[in-house]
Each structure stands twice: as C-alpha cells, then as structure tokens.
Amino acid sequence: MINGKKVVVVMPAYNAEKTLETTYNEIPFHIVDDVVLVDDKSSDRTSELAREIGIQHVITHQSNLGYGGNQKSCYRKALELDADITIMVHPDYQYTPLLIPAIANIIGSGLYDSVLASRILGKGALRGGMPMYKYIANRFLTLIQNILIGQKLSEYHTGYRAFSKDILKTINFEANSDDFVFDNQMICQIFHAGFEIAEVTCPTKYFEEASSINFTRSSKYGLGVLWTSMQYWLSKKGLSSPKIFQTANV
C-alpha cells in the first residue's frame, strides 16, 4: 500500500516466458499488494511460469482476444480486488517496474488520477533502441493528437500507465477496441471525463524478446489513433456521441 491505498500491478501477457521472471523480480513488493497476470492464450509457458514464480492471480484466456481484450480482463480483476491504484506493466521487460513507487505516489498523494511513463521525455526512446521510423511516427501522431484533444502530452503511445479506482469505475473501457488502439481510447476517455494525466520520464529497452507490432499493424494502429482523436474532437463539439465516451456502469 501507499498512503493507505491498495496498489495492484496488472500484466497483460502474450508469449512472455523469456522475460516474465526478470520483470517480476523488479516489482517493489513493499508497496505492491497484488499482481495480476492475464495470459492471452500464449503458445509458451507464460501461465505456468507465472504461477511458479508466485503470481497469485493468473487468468488464462481460452482464445486470443488481443491486446485491448487482455487489458479489459486486467482491469476487471483489479476492480474485483478493490485496487485503489492500478498500474499496468508489460511483462516483456521493455519498461522497468522500478518506477512503480514514483508512479503510485503521484496517484496515492491525490495529485493526479492517471500517470503515463513517457519514453519521449528526455532521450529514453532513441537511447533505448526505438527504431527511427517509430520515433518519427510517435512524434507526428502525438502532435496531431495534442491539437485535436487540446492537451500537451509528450506521448500517447507508452504501454506503461497507471489509473486510480475513480477512473476505472468512470470510463467505459469495455466499449473500447480489443486491438492496440485500446490504449489511446482510454487516454481520450480519461480526458473526456475531466481527469488529468501526469507523465514521468521512463527509460525503455528494445530487444528481440520485447513485444512489438509489424509495419502493417503499426499503420492500422496509426489510423485508429487519428480516428479516436477525431471522435474526441467531434464529441467535445457536440457533433457526435460515441459509445466509448459514455459513462461506465460499474
């Protein structure tokens, strides 16, 4: 716990056998109360290993639901565990869990309801090996998103993020895509509901075992991101009312 608030780490996993234990061993258990791993029908021993290393809450999908579908299971379980602060950490070790205390404290102190660990603040992205084309795409999409959404985030595309209980109970994350654009839909939902988002600088690592998506899926993701931002703009102008911006019934 931190400041009397329960901290739950959720890990959306897919074929994470090679990096899971390394990631898990960096979790600061002096403040983390529970860890949830959701295995999206991996073809390796991700679920088995998770139980072997001591993760108590392991959910195994019977079919592959996608990255967004995986997160939905993560957040449902976090709400079931009555988490005050839910922190998503990818088990591919691209992001270090050592930032968890700083991230949790920002929410636990009541300063912000959500925190993104940014690879773009500082020089973490390129130093960590982010491919140049992904860096350029990240900067371009972030610029357009900030204009449409009216914010000043350094990036919208990090997979390392944390949410208060209020956010998970307010936004309709169940209405979001089961694919990678889920992340950006959540950010738009958070802003649309009137919450604010903090950012912290985060080092990152790109290596063979770290998860990534190919160029085709990256292109599809980029188009989805732009459409989500446009939906936000239209909704705020009163020109549209997408389901993703309706309040959740939790």
Spans of all domains in the chain: 7-245
- Block residue for tokens 């998770």: 50
CATH no., domain 7-245: 3.90.550.10
Tell me how far apart the alpha carbons of residues 150 and 130 are, in angstroms, rounded to a whole number: 27
- Block residue for tokens 């090996």: 129
CB 183 within 8 A of CB 101: no
236, 238, 242, 248: CA torsion to nearest 10: 70
Tell me how far apart the alpha carbons of residues 7 and 30 are, in angstroms, rounded to a whole number: 10
CB 23 within 8 A of CB 89: yes
pLDDT of residue 214: 64
Q: What is the DSSP letter of 204?
A: B
Tell me how far apart the alpha carbons of residues 134 and 53 are, in angstroms, rounded to a whole number: 34
Q: What's the chain's average pLDDT? A: 92
Strand pairing class (34-39; 7-13): parallel
Q: In a 3-state reduction of DSSP, which class is residue 100? A: helix
pLDDT of residue 212: 58
Closest CA to 233 of 195, 188, 167, 190: 188
The model's pLDDT over 134-188, given as tens digits with 9 standing for 90+, comes to: 888 889 999 999 999 999 999 999 999 999 999 999 999 999 999 999 999 999 9
